[in-house]
Amino acid sequence: MAVRPITVIGHKALHSPTKKVKEVTDEVRTLVADMFDTMEAADGVGLAANQVGSRLRIFVYDCPVPDGPNARGVVVNPVLERLGTPPPLEDEEHGEGCLSVPGEWFPLARHPRARVTGTDLDGNEVVVEGEDLLARCLQHETDHLDGYLYVDRLTGPVKEQAREAIKDRGWQADGVLRWDPSTQKADEV
């Protein structure tokens, strides 16, 4: 398969809701295989279809979980259920990053557990439930498909820090709204 360029904040594909997949075609299967290759090349734990320029409601994930193998799969037409109450932001220990805001990390309080339902490429029901990093991943990727980036959810001084960091990166000014993980590392973009 192939590694595809990843869209960067400011690209219109990231700020519009995606469209429900009506039928899994060979083109969709190729897209998913390319998404796994792209996610791996970029050292990501999740990737939404609109991050590689597709308007389809699909994401892939390969996320570490405690005491076991990575949770790995694809979800077509995911529906998210957030579970639990997000901790106060000051208790947030780990920042959140995004392949579409490469090289940046900011604290964001997410729900501690999440469940996504959808289907796999063969139309079988998929239910993925997780906590901690997997919960964050499920929320993050579903947000992408709804047209939101994690930086859209930041508040207060952290939101301003993110705006400044993004401005300093100059992506919009340069008009370079994609990067190629087969030739670049996220912190070099």
Query: Is residue 91 scored above 80 in pLDDT?
Result: no
Confidence band for 172, pLDDT divided at 50, 70 and 90: confident
For residue 48, what pLDDT is reported? 98
Query: Is residue 140 scored above 60 in pLDDT?
Result: yes
11 annotated binding-site participant: no
What are the pLDDT digits (tens) for 108-128?
Answer: 989 999 999 999 999 999 999
Q: 6-179 — its CATH code?
A: 3.90.45.10
- Region of poorest pLDDT, from 36-40, 75-79, 107-111, 148-152: 107-111
Task: Classify residue 148 as exposed, middle or buried by CB count within 10 Å of its CB (0-12, 13-18, 19+).
Answer: middle
Please give the structure tokens belonging to residue 16. 């519009």
Write a three-state SS string for the chain.
CCCCCEECCCCHHHHCCCECCCCCCHHHHHHHHHHHHHHHHCCCCEEEHHHHCCCECEEEEEECCCCCCCEEEEEEEEEEEEECCCCCHHHCCCEEECCCCCCCEEECCCCCEEEEEEECCCCCEEEEEEEHHHHHHHHHHHHHHCCCCHHHHCCHHHHHHHHHHHHHHCHHHHCCCEECCCCCCHHHC
Instruction: Measure the CA dihedral 152/95/161/138, to 10°.
Output: -10
CB 78 within 8 A of CB 21: no
Please give the structure tokens belonging to residue 30. 């190729």
Considering only residues 171 and 61, tell me which one the structure prediction assigns the higher pLDDT: 61
144 annotated binding-site participant: yes
Residues carrying an active site annotation: 141
Query: Is residue 95 scored above 70 in pLDDT?
Result: yes
Please calculate the CA angle 43-46-47 and round it to the nearest 5 degrees: 100
Report the predicted TM-score, pTM, of the whole model to 2 decimal places: 0.94
Write a three-state SS string for 9-34.
CCCHHHHCCCECCCCCCHHHHHHHHH
What are the pLDDT digits (tens) for 48-79?
Answer: 999 999 999 999 999 999 888 999 999 999 99
- Region of poorest pLDDT, from 5-9, 73-77, 143-147, 171-175: 171-175
111 annotated binding-site participant: no
Distance CA 3, CA 173 (A): 25
